[in-house]
Chain A
């Protein structure tokens, strides 16, 4: 062999060595270093998962009565890759399907096409809530309906309809933000989750774990064999503190008026009733809601039925606020329980005269009588005296106004306690706006620059002392404030959720109420105020004495009538604690256009208290109570 040949053979050998090395290391990289990744890809190749929806947990009242349940139904879907590719064949399928579903083929197309455009590989829904017989027919005649698949779904049912609609809330399809939120891990695109009320607040308990039918398929997409299914797990049952009977009575008491009520155990914050009117039927949301329906539910002229006035309402509270003024004045040393003040029917502050409602003259009175007859002048004077400090505002805040109540519902809004700072800053803003934009008087009247058209004055504090002016609070907040007084200064957080249970009602987890804040209120002061409220509901001349005449349950209660500006009817309030002297429940009712509190709100509260204690007018006075 020549040396030249030897060289050249060596070179061929070298090329072989390099090539073998390359392949060897490539294999090492693919199989040893990236094996797990490719194995996952291989598995994803061959396993198709068909989602099996898990039913949500039911929501029951404190006695186990169903507020929200489920109904098994079928949705008919089409799977794009299994539909015939040929358009006329596809049309034939739609034609046949239309006959079964009583839909025109055109409508099926109009319904399906946009969905397939949006998500090309996901099944598109043709019809929701199809009868079981139709679904079984489609399954039995699968060959005639290529690509058509009925899927079992569970639809939410709300057997009580409009009752408690605001607090249980409703479902809606999960949105993109929620999909990215880790609170919704395990939720897939297209799933329906709680979007309001308890359904939203306790979604992670209520929602089940979707199961899957798992199929092994080959490269052509044909079924090879079924794999072990993952069974769906129903969500947990949630027991609320709501009493359906109390809720029903409260809702009936509101009638067709715009208004709200809140019923709470003052000791532990358990909410027994919470309603808002007008209400809506959450069944509308169990399938995708029509836009026209949604528009109607959010229409202002229609009373915005979706708005939960009990927790999101922001109103001046009228005289029911006097309890807070009284606590502030007593604790702040502006007045003692027995100090007598002369009520001459009006109080002149600067160049403004503040009058009692109806211009009555109450004469000399101390705190108890002032609460009983609801003397405005008595509290005007306290408001005037407190001006320059934020004594009343501070106590209002301590008692739970101007801050979220902590209730277990979404959109727990703070409301507003007007302070000099709030008004003065708002006015600076207003002046700057007027100087800059130079609005016409008409524009100003429409609030172009807001409505804070003057700085804080003593009159604002006088107004606040009787719950008028810029004050904005919800019935729930007022209930918390009253409960604090009845409960030795403990400010509870209202709770609806009581217990997580399995689907047969066995307890799994008690939902502990958060610790209450304790306020330091002198016992004598507390008792003086309670006595005043008791007198208001029982003694001659008391503002709600007539309403509760002969009522077997001893009540301490306060009426409220909030003025809402010229041309608008007054808002009526009633806040009651029962039974006196050791209250267990607080009941707050409000009617947006109810006039005097004693005329509408107090009777409503009375019906609720009747139901709470199972008592009727004329029954013997009962000190005992039942849950």
Chain B
């Protein structure tokens, strides 16, 4: 690592025992706050007419979720993440319990049980599961570091991820299940698993996809719900028929395209007249595209790029492998969700029901994403602390 041109002054400031939160990565904080602001702004505009008499219904709630999430983020950034490694078994069991409990007491929404009704908001445990999975898989990988080349290590880790992933897919929440698999892949990748293992896993995945999408339906076994199948395949042939899954995507394309260079503002009819489905949740990016045009969409994408860049940077500076693995998992989770969601809205990815981190309306998603970012800040803070105690300078 090379020396920062600001090294001296920053060090001097820190030597003067400044407040600890400056150990947070300021650019990551900027990206986080920026995206939350964009989210609230877009939701305000998109949902103005959705609930008669309370135009700001969704805005207030999203702002509250963001506030709660930011508090969690702050707390987590002050905690040494290494402690979670000791609690890995408990966290893993807790995660499974949280997912399973949904089957028992969950509230159903549009044919799937995903959330526990907590009175003031319904909590999607599969979202929290993402963070818990990152923590536990990373811990497992660190424990088995010496036997990383063993096939057993890889297969155990994959198994650890597949159990919750399958449970989540059964809720059914296909999107979160895929995120779990992405997290597991990233953990293996950052841990340094051998290429041959990846090749084998890739082959198995391909076989699984064929079985689920082609062979099983042909044999009359329903692995995925028919609507999930439709959603996965619909992006290949968008349609004008509102009854079909491709309709959502077709309307999303029209919305984004109609936004043009600078957006349609209040004339954003795709959003305002409900042609765009789920406009404040899964298709929030289409709202940005229509109302604020290419400029708005590019701004949001840039903030995401900044976010990913800072996450990757924190990955490289982590004080230990556990930190690197957590950072890798969080980065993979964010990247996967961003590209699958945005790709869906612009018609290059299938519809999987993955939310856009920090942008989509929803307490579970926003709070859990902020918790994950809190972990990233913790990794960052720990790395800085270590650097300070070792007397090394780390570039901002």
Contact = CB atoms under 8 A, between A and B. Distances in A.
Interface of A: 1-2, 4-6, 8-9, 12-13, 15-16, 19-20, 22-24, 26-28, 30-32, 34-39, 41-43, 45-46, 216-220, 224
B218 to A, nearest CB: 33
Contacts of B186: 12
A41 B335 CA distance: 32
Given A32-B261, A220-B274, A43 B256 contact: no
A12 B331 contact: yes
A219 B328 CA distance: 42
28 contacts: A1-B324, A5-B324, A6-B316, A9-B190, A12-B332, A15-B335, A16-B305, A22-B343, A27-B256, A27-B346, A28-B294, A30-B253, A30-B256, A31-B294, A31-B297, A32-B261, A35-B258, A35-B261, A36-B260, A41-B257, A41-B258, A42-B258, A42-B270, A42-B275, A43-B269, A45-B254, A46-B273, A219-B275
B308 interface: yes
Contacts of A217: 273
Nearest to A19: B339
Task: Specify which of A13, A23, A31 lies most central, judged by the most chain B CB atoms within 10 Å of its CB.
Answer: A31
Interface residues of B, number: 47
A216 B268 CA distance: 13
Nearest to A23: B342
Contacts of A6: 316
A31 B260 contact: yes
Contact of B257 (A8, A15, A39, A216): A39
Contact of A23 (B260, B273, B339): B339
Q: Tell me what chain A mostly uses at the interface: helix, strand, loop, or mixed.
A: helix
A31 B255 CA distance: 9
A8 B192 contact: yes
B343 to A, nearest CB: 7
Contacts of B305: 16, 20
B47 to A, nearest CB: 14
A367 to B, nearest CB: 80
Contacts of B256: 27, 30-31, 38
Contacts of B332: 12
Contact of A219 (B273, B315, B316, B346): B273
A218 to B, nearest CB: 4
A597 B310 CA distance: 108
B315 A9 contact: yes
B28 to A, nearest CB: 15
Interface in B241-272: 242, 251, 253-261, 264, 269-270
A16 B308 contact: yes
Interface in B293-310: 293-294, 297-298, 301, 304-305, 308-309
B351 to A, nearest CB: 16
B181 to A, nearest CB: 16
B289 interface: yes
Contact of A32 (B260, B317, B331): B260
A45 B269 contact: yes
A589 B309 CA distance: 97
B335 A19 contact: yes
Given A9-B312, A19-B335, A22-B348, 7 more contacts: A1-B324, A16-B335, A27-B289, A30-B289, A32-B261, A218-B273, A220-B274
Contacts of B103: none
Contacts of B57: none
Contacts of B264: 39
A368 B270 CA distance: 87
Contacts of A13: 309, 312
A46 B274 CA distance: 10
A146 B85 CA distance: 66
A453 B315 CA distance: 105
Contacts of B298: 24, 27
Contact of A42 (B261, B269, B293, B315): B269
Contacts of B315: 9
B189 interface: yes
Nearest to B293: A31
A41 B308 contact: no
A397 B343 CA distance: 76
Contact of A30 (B257, B312, B317, B335): B257
A46 B269 contact: yes
A45 B255 CA distance: 11
